[in-house]
Structure 1
Amino acid sequence: MTESVRRAAPDAAGSDDGWLTLVAREASADAGGVPVELLGDYLRLLTDAAVTGRRPRRGELDAVGALGRRAAEQGVSAGRVVRLYLSAARRLWRQLPHLARSADSETVRAAADAVLHVVDTAVATLAEGYAAARRDLVRREETLRRELIDDLLRGDSDLGGLVERAEPFGLDLARVHQVVLASPSRRLPDTDTAISALERVIFDRLGDRDVLVATKEGLLVVIAPADTVTADRGAGDGGSAGDLGRMMHAELDRLARGRPWQVAVGRPHPGLYGIARSYEEAREALTTARRLRTDTAVIDAHELLIYRVLLRDQPAMVDLVQAVLTPLTRARGGAESLLDTLNEYFACGEVATEAARRLHVSVRTVTYRLDRIRTLSGYDPADPRDRFTLHAAVLGARALDWPRRPLPT
């Protein structure tokens, strides 16, 4: 290029440094105040390209990639940092007056080609560095989130340290929280879709403060403030701790994988240890539901408290089942059909016709089975004195998964 072209940049604004500084400041303002330091030597690469046609060296491009990483680490959005670079290139081009005066179209074309090559290469390298840093940040945040959730659900970590670690995730451990677990019908190869679906609906309904969504041992885990869930209920519908569970199940049921989902809702509890307690209740509710072979979509831990009471003294419950129900194994076909009859009979308020409808058998079959139970066990399902003993034994048998499994010794 000619000598007049090489002198053009400094002639535009006195000294070379002052001219580039002015361009950098104006570009920063265009990009919403992005720090000018993120331009690095980019403007000099552009002026070299316009004046001499020199293309950037590998080391210079690596420096631009490092600036992209720095922008991501500083929390500058990708759009703003790219706008900074494009605005700087546009303003620098306008500050080259020799190009406007030049009658040599080939000179202008060569300068434009060189500058655009630098812009294209630098912005692509900047974006690559930015994306790499974002991936590292996401992985680091995901690791911190997983460690935080593991410690919260264990409930045995240092309280002060947990409060400090929970703050960046918007979690106020002084509030009352509840934990909801979602179990797919089979293990998912990829849980990202399910997590994204849950985050979308939960953040939309409850906001993103005090809410965490993650995975643990093949289950989706949601920690949410109980008072926010309560406030989100429809007017006059009564609501319950299971509102969040029903909302989650409705969203997960739309996904192609994992159906049918089963959701368990722990009771709300205050403080750090309340989160661990709610989690244990939800996990125990899922385990109990599997033992009972129930296909209930949303399980409320509150509704299964009776099973926790029954199983708290397992040896006593085993004795009760053994004494009251094992005689039923002498029936033709075993004890299972008789236990099913007792379960439905008690569940419908001891109405034989309704129990028959639920069991898909005749009323005569139900009355025959009840008579066999009375004969074999010595306990009469129609007698108020025997009914409580029989019902407690049936509930215990379901919780122990008897007779499908032998009673614990």
Structure 2
Amino acid sequence: MAISEMPADLLGGHRKVLAESAATGRLPDRAALDAYRAAGTRAAELGIPLRLLVDGALADGEGLPGALPALRKAVSALMEGYERAQLVAIRTEEAARREFVDDLLQGRAERLAERAEHFGLRLAESYVVAVARGLREGDQERIERDLIARFGSHNVLVAVRDGLLVCVAPATLPAAVGEFTHHVRARFPAGWRVGVGRAHRGPGGVVASYREAAQALELADGLKLKIDVVKAADLLVFPVLLRDRSAIEDLVTSVLSPLLGARGGHEPLLETLEAIFASHGNQTAAARRLGLSPRAVTYRLERIRRLTGFSPDDPTQRFTLETAVLGARLLGWPAGFSS
């Protein structure tokens, strides 16, 4: 676009304002500056480059050396109006983007495909959702800005939902989830955790992946996992277990209730079983995890065998014990059970 292609009335009266200032030495008054700001806003809305707008304003000042102070005021007002219009446009776009992400995560289907196209998203593809717990004020904007700077606004969506920072990224861009986790680790306070859903296709897939990611955080808390990043794909067995709560409660009660009467309480014995399972049956490694001697671990396992009738050394009994312990942690046994 050339200066000659700008609307003729955009800088109408500008040359006259400069000429009067050059003759009288008076700067443009408030009304004139407001008119310049309005012209700058209009130029931004018309998509006229700022460089071209300023160049046109400077061109009208040629041959009027005494008008330089007025010209500076005029250009400043033009730029102020232009920048204000851009800021409004950015905020409007951000609000629309966040509203779209919120509707997407809630599964509201109204005009999703049309709105997704506006943001450069192809909802027919597969997407992965990651969520982070531990959000503080200002974290969203900084992380969103950094992710968009690297991957582009058409590849990454960032929003806040149910107190979680949410990142939606194409399954074909696994680096985005890694980068999201990196920024969470760098900015969130201690206690943060990231949950990652599986890849699913389409708008409904985004909702499914989001729910999986959020549930992964809940499962990690219930199981007292010490890892910072939990993947739904690694925890698939647990939603299956929870689908039949009465069956799991029956298993936990039948297998573990005898531990409630143990001297010292049931918790040390549960922790011993968890350490044994995490160490793949290696009692020496389990002892290191617990800060105990191998002999103490052997003693506890013998107590468990005597009380419950189950031993982790037997493959079938080990599976029953491990399932019962996992169910106990997930359901908050014994406090979470009805008497």
Whichever residue aligns with residue 91 of structure 1, its letter is A
Gap change, CA 1:91 and 1:132, over 3 Å in 2: closer
> Which residue does the alignment assign to 2:221?
290
Task: Tell me, yes or no, if structure 1 residue 247 matches structure 2 residue 174.
Answer: no
Unaligned stretches of 5+ residues in structure 2: none
Map 1:3-402; keep pairs closer than 5 Å: 28=3, 37-53=9-25, 55-76=27-48, 79-80=50-51, 84-85=53-54, 87-95=55-63, 112=66, 115-158=67-110, 161-184=111-134, 187-192=135-140, 195-201=141-147, 203-204=149-150, 206-229=151-174, 244-255=176-187, 257-402=188-333
Give how far 1:287 is off: 1.2
Whichever residue aligns with residue 196 of structure 1, its letter is R
The CA deviation string for residues 28-53 of structure 1, in whole angstroms up to 9 with x for no partner, is 27xxx766654243233223323454
**DSSP-derived class of the 1:213 partner:** strand
Gap change, CA 1:389 and 1:202, over 3 Å in 2: farther
Give how far 1:222 is off: 1.0
> Which residue does the alignment assign to 1:13?
none
> Structure 2 length as normaliser, TM-score?
0.90
Bigger CA radius of gyration: 1
**DSSP-derived class of the 2:172 partner:** helix
Give how far 1:358 is off: 1.6
**DSSP-derived class of the 1:375 partner:** helix
Gap change, CA 1:88 and 1:313, over 3 Å in 2: same
Provide the C-alpha distance between the structure 2 equivalents of 1:118 and 1:202, rounded to a whole number of angstroms.
40
Provide the C-alpha distance between the structure 2 equivalents of 1:246 and 1:92, rounded to a whole number of angstroms.
53
Q: Which range moved further: 307-316 or 213-222?
A: 213-222
Unaligned stretches of 5+ residues in structure 1: 1-24, 97-110, 230-242
**C-alpha RMSD of the superposition:** 2.5
Instruction: Give yes or no for contact 1:40–1:64 (8 Å, CA) kept in 2.
Output: no
Whichever residue aligns with residue 45 of structure 2, its letter is E
- Alignment identity in percent? 43
Between the two proteins, the alignment pairs up a number of residues equal to 339
> Structure 1 length as normaliser, TM-score?
0.75
Whichever residue aligns with residue 140 of structure 1, its letter is T
Provide the C-alpha distance between the structure 1 equivalents of 2:282 and 2:298, rounded to a whole number of angstroms.
10
Provide the C-alpha distance between the structure 1 equivalents of 2:40 and 2:119, rounded to a whole number of angstroms.
25
Provide the C-alpha distance between the structure 2 equivalents of 1:54 and 1:341, rounded to a whole number of angstroms.
87
> Which residue does the alignment assign to 1:21?
none
Provide the C-alpha distance between the structure 2 equivalents of 1:408 and 1:154, rounded to a whole number of angstroms.
33
Gap change, CA 1:353 and 1:150, over 3 Å in 2: same
**DSSP-derived class of the 1:294 partner:** coil
Instruction: Give yes or no for contact 1:253–1:260 (8 Å, CA) kept in 2.
Output: no
Instruction: Give yes or no for contact 2:57–2:75 (8 Å, CA) kept in 1.
Output: no
Give how far 1:260 is off: 4.6
Give how far 1:68 is off: 1.9
Give how far 1:400 is off: 1.7
